[in-house]
A and B are shown apart, each in its own frame.
Chain A
């Protein structure tokens, strides 16, 4: 891609009798070198990141169970399609500033410029290249100052880095929290759940005011084992249904 970019630059430079190069030599050379360095340093990292490191990455797109070990736990499973999607997104983050500069240019100045004779943009100096589609992009980038180019690319990479760096902690948190949450949900379901069993035992020693609630039906989701301040040992229909919807989705 960088070589292609350089060839295009050379092509247009030859056509214009090196005037472009003489005008913008330092800027374009620095741009080429910086973009080469940028691509050389980051593209392998992107490619390596999106490669699956082990066969356990293929988890059929479902949540693994608590008994399964060393499985990839994520709401977005890292199958090949998602890896390709991530690669596509990262590349499009890189191309986004270029497209961003090309798109309004094409529609505002590209087609009607030679008839209206309006030069609204001081950057557009080469009227005879109106129909070459790639040139306004390169020209826009070349005419921009180097710090702005750097900031655009660095912003794009900051986006990529932010997205990628959030994946690992989120996955770690989900891997840690998933069995805990699942056990917590199951603990509130009678009669085998640990919290509901404790509630039952507590009720044996409770005063007779709550004695009628001794028998906990199987499959009932209790709201809380707390029986005093507040007394919450009841079952709510909607909450039970939502809990079981989640359980079935597991």
Chain B
């Protein structure tokens, strides 16, 4: 119970003082780490240094999508 309260307190504090929802923080961190992987994947548009960052479509395991898609 005490751990619960101690774990919940900063969340509630931030929620009621700044109006922010910190329960999505883990999801956002997941996105950051997934982007760290995805942006280094070599794909049909190129690699990191040669235009690969403009690739629109990836597989959901973050490997490059090599099928035909409007190009």
Interface residues of A (CB under 8 A from B): 59-65, 67-68, 186, 189-190, 192, 196, 199, 212-222, 233-238, 240, 244, 247-248, 250
Contacts and interface: CB of A to CB of B under 8 A. Distances in A.
Q: Determine chain A's interface SS by DSSP, over half rule.
A: loop
Q: Determine chain B's interface SS by DSSP, over half rule.
A: helix
Interface string B33-58: 11101100000000000000001111
7 closest A-B pairs by CB: A219-B30, A62-B19, A219-B34, A219-B31, A60-B19, A218-B30, A65-B21
Given A215-B61, A219-B30, 6 more contacts: A60-B19, A61-B19, A65-B21, A189-B31, A199-B60, A219-B35
A222 to B, nearest CB: 6
Interface residues of B, number: 29
Nearest to A214: B61
Contacts of B27: 186, 189, 192, 219, 247
11 contacts: A67-B23, A189-B31, A190-B60, A214-B61, A218-B34, A219-B30, A219-B35, A236-B56, A237-B55, A248-B24, A250-B24
